[in-house]
């Protein structure tokens, strides 16, 4: 994915919008390209809009994408449906499937599969207008996402009313329960804990994220990055490996993977945040969303959805049971 970076000079004293300022730079992008192709805008590590008023010393980082297709097409791709009614469709997403079309993955996504499953027509893409309108066309029914290599439960909306109902809950993750299982390399110091940090772009690799407690401040004196909170329970340890249950109170990009690395227990098979494991060199990401507890549209009570443990987990656990003695960490007092 192409990206653009610029540092606003300390002498700057104007009041330009971000898109106007970028368009004025010798190596900048015009406003039309910014509107149609932008995917992420970060100023001092914090997500911003094109209307942001820039200030001296601002660090601007922009991701954009080229060759946007004219349509998002329905595709006949098998799906594991957990539950479906007139308002929602709950899917057990396979590892390797991208949630929605984006740069480098314009087809064979969950959205393409759902359009076919629902009997919908192709969705024409717009390349002019507000960023929110452009992105909305690429993500019909998507109210939350899972990383490509994270498998498990994802709930989608089949109409606008259901989409708004679900989005309201996902804006506050404490109003629902999302639980994951993970096999990690390393042992946590405590049987149970809650990780509370800011998550920022890794200054050494802008495609990665990093958990920090004392995040740097931007020009306004506000903390950069986004607050993230993850609770974990170590179910058992096998040698230097740990089986974890994880719940998130926020929904940040790569949150669990970043927080497990912060805990010195990176998720096994994580190609971004962990080194290749010597005992399991071919392991893929051992992270699975196995439970979702949420209120379905216009219901007061909660509905719980679960998925079975994936085969890749069972294969790893079989080896761990054979090679190591199961250890239960003492409960913290």
Structure tokens given for 245: 């249950």
Distance (Å, whole) CA 310 – CA 284? 12
**Half-sphere CA count of 215, side-chain side, radius 13 A:** 24
Contacts of 291 (CB under 8 A, 6+ apart): 153, 177, 178, 179, 304, 305, 306, 307
Element containing residue 237 per DSSP (H, E): strand 226-238
Is 147 among the catalytic positions?
yes
Global pTM value = 0.79
Q: Which long-range contacts (CB under 8 A, 24 or more apart) does 164-170 make?
A: 165/87, 165/297, 165/298, 166/88, 166/294, 166/297, 167/143, 169/294, 169/295, 170/143, 170/144, 170/251
> Any idea how long the chain is?
333
> Are 111 and 139 in contact, with CB atoms under 8 Å apart?
yes
Element containing residue 132 per DSSP (H, E): helix 131-138
Check 19, 58, 63, 147 and give the catalytic one.
147
Could you count the other beta carbons within 10 Å of the beta carbon of residue 16?
Answer: 16
The pLDDT, as a whole number, for residue 215 is: 64
Backbone angles phi, psi at 303, to 5 degrees: -115, 135
The pLDDT, as a whole number, for residue 243 is: 98
SS3 label, residue 166: helix
> What single-letter DSSP state applies at residue 173?
G
The pLDDT, as a whole number, for residue 217 is: 61
Distance (Å, whole) CA 46 – CA 226? 7
Distance (Å, whole) CA 184 – CA 246? 11
> Are 287 and 209 in contact, with CB atoms under 8 Å apart?
no
> Are 178 and 247 in contact, with CB atoms under 8 Å apart?
yes
Distance (Å, whole) CA 160 – CA 106? 23
SS3 label, residue 113: helix
**Half-sphere CA count of 110, side-chain side, radius 13 A:** 33
| Tens place of pLDDT per residue across the chain (333 aa) | 567 788 899 999 888 998 889 888 877 776 666 666 677 788 887 878 888 999 999 988 887 765 565 677 889 999 999 999 999 999 999 999 999 877 677 789 999 999 999 998 777 655 555 556 666 656 778 899 999 999 999 999 999 999 999 999 998 888 899 999 999 999 999 999 999 999 988 878 878 899 998 766 655 556 668 899 999 999 999 999 999 999 999 999 999 999 999 999 999 999 999 999 999 999 999 999 999 999 999 999 999 999 999 999 999 999 999 999 999 888 765
Kindly report the CA angle at 199 between 28 and 239, in degrees rounded to 5?
Answer: 130
């Amino acid at each position: 994915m192409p990206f653009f970076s610029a540092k606003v000079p300390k002498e700057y004293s104007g009041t330009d919008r971000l898109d106007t300022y970028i368009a004025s730079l010798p190596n900048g992008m015009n406003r039309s390209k910014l509107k149609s192709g932008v995917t992420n805008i970060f100023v001092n590590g914090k997500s911003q809009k094109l209307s942001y008023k820039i200030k001296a010393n601002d660090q601007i980082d922009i991701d954009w994408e080229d060759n946007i297709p004219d349509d998002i097409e329905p595709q006949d791709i098998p799906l594991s449906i957990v539950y479906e009614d007139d308002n929602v469709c709950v899917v057990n997403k396979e590892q390797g499937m991208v949630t929605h079309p984006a740069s480098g993955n314009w087809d064979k996504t969950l959205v393409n599969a759902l359009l076919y499953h629902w009997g919908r027509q192709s969705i024409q893409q717009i390349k002019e207008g507000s960023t929110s309108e452009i992105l909305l066309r690429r993500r019909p029914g998507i109210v939350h996402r899972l990383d490509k290599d994270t498998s498990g439960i994802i709930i989608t909306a089949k109409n606008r009313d259901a989409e708004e109902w679900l989005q309201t809950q996902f804006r506050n993750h404490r109003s629902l329960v999302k639980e994951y299982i993970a096999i990690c390399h390393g042992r946590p110091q405590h049987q149970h804990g809650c990780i509370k940090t800011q998550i920022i772009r890794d200054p050494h690799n802008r495609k990665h994220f990093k958990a920090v407690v004392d995040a740097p401040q931007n020009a306004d004196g506000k903390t950069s990055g986004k607050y993230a909170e993850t609770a974990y329970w170590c179910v058992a340890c096998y040698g230097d490996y740990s089986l974890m249950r994880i719940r998130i109170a926020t929904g940040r990009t790569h949150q669990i993977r970043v927080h497990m690395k912060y805990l010195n227990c990176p998720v096994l098979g994580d190609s971004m945040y962990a080194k290749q494991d010597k005992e399991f060199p071919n392991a893929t990401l051992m992270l699975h969303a196995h439970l979702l507890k949420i209120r379905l549209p216009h219901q007061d009570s909660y509905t719980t959805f679960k998925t079975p443990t994936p085969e890749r987990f069972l294969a790893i656990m079989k080896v761990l049971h054979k090679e190591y003695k199961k250890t239960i960490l003492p409960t913290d007092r």
